[in-house]
Structure 1
Amino acid sequence: MDPPREAGPDDPVDGGPDNASFAAARRRSEAIERELREDPSRFRVLTGDRPTGRLHVGHLFGSLENRVRLQDAGVETFVIIADYQVITDRDAVGPVGERVLSLVTDYLAVGLDPSRCTIFAHSAVPALNQLMLPFLALVTDAELRRNPTVKAELAATNGRPMSGLMLTYPVHQAADILFCKANLVPVGKDQLPHVEQSRSIARRFDEIYGRADQRHAVFPRPDALLSEAVNILGVDGQKMSKSRGNAIELAMSADVTAKLIRRAVTDSERQITWEPQRRPEVANLLLLAALSSGRTPEELADELAGAGGAGLKAVVTEAVNERLAPIRSRRAELAADEGYLRSVLAEGNRRANEVGDATLAEVRAAMGMVY
């Protein structure tokens, strides 16, 4: 297996990125941020979500705001609603239609603009999914089993057989990225191996089918745009999750949000301090208020001083509800017009199919499969 490269490793790293790989990815990401300011038109971004539930403030601060930033900077942005990927770790899709439209509503409410980005459903783009076949021929079973997501899923099965779709999840993600020739993928550290797998597949395809020179390659080598880690816990002090019932959802009312924050876990100390290691629950509430208000957790802690848990929760509630108010207002307008939401998705699907068909035609030509 090839060693990691300075500009971004091409091969998956067993168990996730090591320190050298992560440092290289960080340096490359910082260089990309500079390049984005100089010429955003050089980049095409692929990002998205699985429709497994409603989006929450963790998504807002962890990814949605960054997507809007890139779009507004002039980066061509593709946002995938990965409905096929719902069944990688589930027996059925659930109320997937309702959840897909909910995602479209959230995307538009936070500021994604369908005239400047392409919002589409995974299952609606046959060419994207057809790329799985040649891509699967470029990876080994051992490589897939080393992928951290696959390893974690296998460890959590408790003896239950892992599906073939779950095993090939990294290849599916590569198809998502490469079908539209995205060269930039916003990710956190834990997702770096997926980008590395996509780079490896792109490189191997071009080496086998005679276009390894990147100036004339079929596929770009996608880079990771590392996001700053924003780890917001749920109100119970555990990971904020769509399935745990501990998340502040974008679609919630101000009253429901207030009730949820009132029962958030804190501790018995009255003095409010910013100590993430010693007081993670208090620090989480300070972080949430800071992100919502554009301030720092440290200055909020200094201002609150001896306010205690109740005082802290009151500040968090006000900050979160104020931050979400325009999103909720816009969301209510959008949710009342299902026809418009469906038209946005239909146009995004049309655009994604246009791009996917062109890529698949190029792949078939490179493989000598045009008859």
Structure 2
Amino acid sequence: MTNNASLTAARRRSDRLRQLIDSTAPADAPARGRLRVLTGDRPTGALHIGHYLGTVRSRVELQDKGIDTFLLIADYQVITDRDSLGDLQGNVRGVLADYLAAGIDPARTTIFAHSAVPAANQLMLPFLSLVTEAELHRNPTVKDELAATDGRAMSGLLLTYPVHQACDILFCHGNVVPVGQDQLPHIEQARVIARRFNERYAGGEQVFTEPEALLTDAPMITGTDGRKMSKSRGNTVPLGATADETAKILRRAVTDAERRITFEPERRPEVANLLTVAAGFTGGDPRDIAEEIGDAGAGELKRVVTEAVNDHLAGHRARRAELLADPGYLMSVLREGNERANEVADATLTRVREVMGMLY
């Protein structure tokens, strides 16, 4: 678990990163040019509005600010906590279509898949030698993911999930990883692995830079049932849903018995969540939206949220449909990204083997 001192230090580093990313000062340009973001998603199903408000929009903003970005479709990680791959091909196409529809530009962002970059995955072997079993068992995300599997045995892949994530970050020398506070232990594990590799195998030479967390300020969006938004729980609003489907989903959203709508996250979390969604898609303030709805009740709140989501996503959904109608183009985008990622991964693995004396 991240302690208070570690969290404070991570926030301080994140604030400095944010200032550098947002800076337009010529003196900061060289440092900005050395930043590389690594981020991504597991293709376990359709991306939803939580992804959009929490991560997808911010990735487009980073790209548009000129930050070199590697965007991972983590297909191998689909099987960390499940027995079936599901419609993996369809899910990958859907995720890719959502990225492009949202404004990700494959000419400026490297989009790639886990399974297509073998050199990155080969880093697992030396990296596993740098962590202990106890460290892996203590990782809070591993604990949370195991708890969500309803008592099934932990797979080796789930246990080593933090090391796999370190491979994702370090193979491309990612030094900026956008995360929420709950994911800080993963970044700390990657930092430890980078540090230990440099000390143990590279004689102190900096083969890997310790990555920094870019803490998101996006609010956590819960599902329509009041629980954590999750594709497996069926409590999401998919980005690709139609306007009518969105309205139907949001009509089922949990609220409370009070008629007057107020923004009180602690006392009325479900109502506050819907107001936060409306604010996220309109750019407004949830308190102002609540004041405007007033005594009109939950029905009006859901109508306002539905209108905000549908109006904002209308263009996204139209572009998404066009992209999905051309799967050949989608796969060409992914293949080009895979090629770029492989170039970087091959060079990294060669350097790793070199410092370990394993070039034959």
Alignment TM-score, normalising by the size of structure 1: 0.93
Per-residue CA distance 1:148-178 (angstroms, 9 max, x = gap): 1222344455654311111111110000000
Aligned partners of 2:151, 2:228: CA distance in 1, in Å? 25
Map of 1:174 onto structure 2: 166
Matched, 1:370 2:355: no
Which moved further from structure 2: 151-160 or 71-80? 151-160
* Closer, same or farther: CA 160–252 of 1 in aligned 2, 3 Å: closer
* 1:210-359 mapped onto 2 (5 Å cutoff): 210-213=202-205, 217-359=206-348
* Structure 2 Cα separation of the partners of residues 184 and 24 of structure 1: 15
State the alpha-carbon separation in 1 of the partners of residues 182 and 45 from structure 2: 22
Matched, 1:111 2:103: yes
Summarize the Cα distance change of 1:161–1:269 in structure 2 as closer, same or farther, 3 Å threshold: closer
Summarize the Cα distance change of 1:334–1:154 in structure 2 as closer, same or farther, 3 Å threshold: closer
Unpaired segments ≥5 residues, structure 1: 1-15
Task: State percent identity of aligned pairs.
Answer: 64
Shift of 1:234: 1.6
Change (3 A) 1:157 1:101: closer
CA distance in 2, matches of 1:159, 1:303: 46
CA deviations on 1:59-102 (whole Å, 9 max, x unpaired) are: 00111111111111000000111111111111121211111111
Residue 136 (structure 2) pairs with residue 151 (structure 1): no
- Residues 153, 321 of structure 1: alpha-carbon distance in 2 compared, 3 angstrom cutoff: closer
The answer as to 2:17 corresponding to 1:25 is no
Show the counterpart of 1:88: 80
Residue 203 of structure 1 deviates from its aligned partner by 0.8
Aligned to 1:4: none
Q: Structure 2: 5+ residue runs without aligned partners?
A: none
For 1:367 and 1:130, how far apart are their aligned partners in 2?
A: 14
Q: CA deviation at 1:57?
A: 0.4
Contact 1:211 1:218 in 2 (8 A): no
Check conservation: 2:202, 2:356, Cα contact below 8 A: no
What secondary structure, in the 3-state scheme, does the structure 2 residue paired with 1:186 have?
Answer: strand
Partner Cα separation in structure 1 for residue 74 and residue 110 of structure 2: 13
Q: Report which stretch shifted further, 257-266 or 23-32.
A: 257-266
Between the two proteins, the alignment pairs up a number of residues equal to 353
Secondary structure of the structure 2 residue equivalent to 1:295:
coil
Give distance in 1, aligned partners of 2:165 and 2:60: 22
2:129 aligned partner: 137
Confirm whether residue 35 of structure 1 aligns to residue 20 of structure 2: yes
User: Equivalents in 1 of 2:351, 2:214: separation in Å?
Assistant: 27
Would you say 1:193 and 2:193 are equivalent positions?
no
Instruction: Give the corresponding residue for 1:207.
Output: 199
Normalised by the size of structure 2, how large is the TM-score? Answer: 0.95
- After superposition, the Cα gap between the structure-2 partners of 1:153 and 1:239, relative to the gap in structure 1 and judged at 3 Å, is closer
In 1: Cα distance, 2:310 partner to 2:252 partner = 16
Shift of 1:211: 4.3
Letter in 2 for 1:199: R
- RMSD over aligned Cα, in angstroms? 1.3
Once residues 153 and 315 of structure 1 are traced to their aligned partners in structure 2, the CA distance between those partners, rounded to angstroms, is 34
After superposition, the C-alpha distances for 1:268-307 in whole angstroms (9 at most, x for unaligned) are: 2221111111111111111111111000101111111111
Distance 1:345 1:71 in 2: 17
For 2:341 and 2:185, the matched residues in 1 are separated by: 25
Residues 177 and 213 in structure 2, CA contact (< 8 A), matched pair in contact too: yes
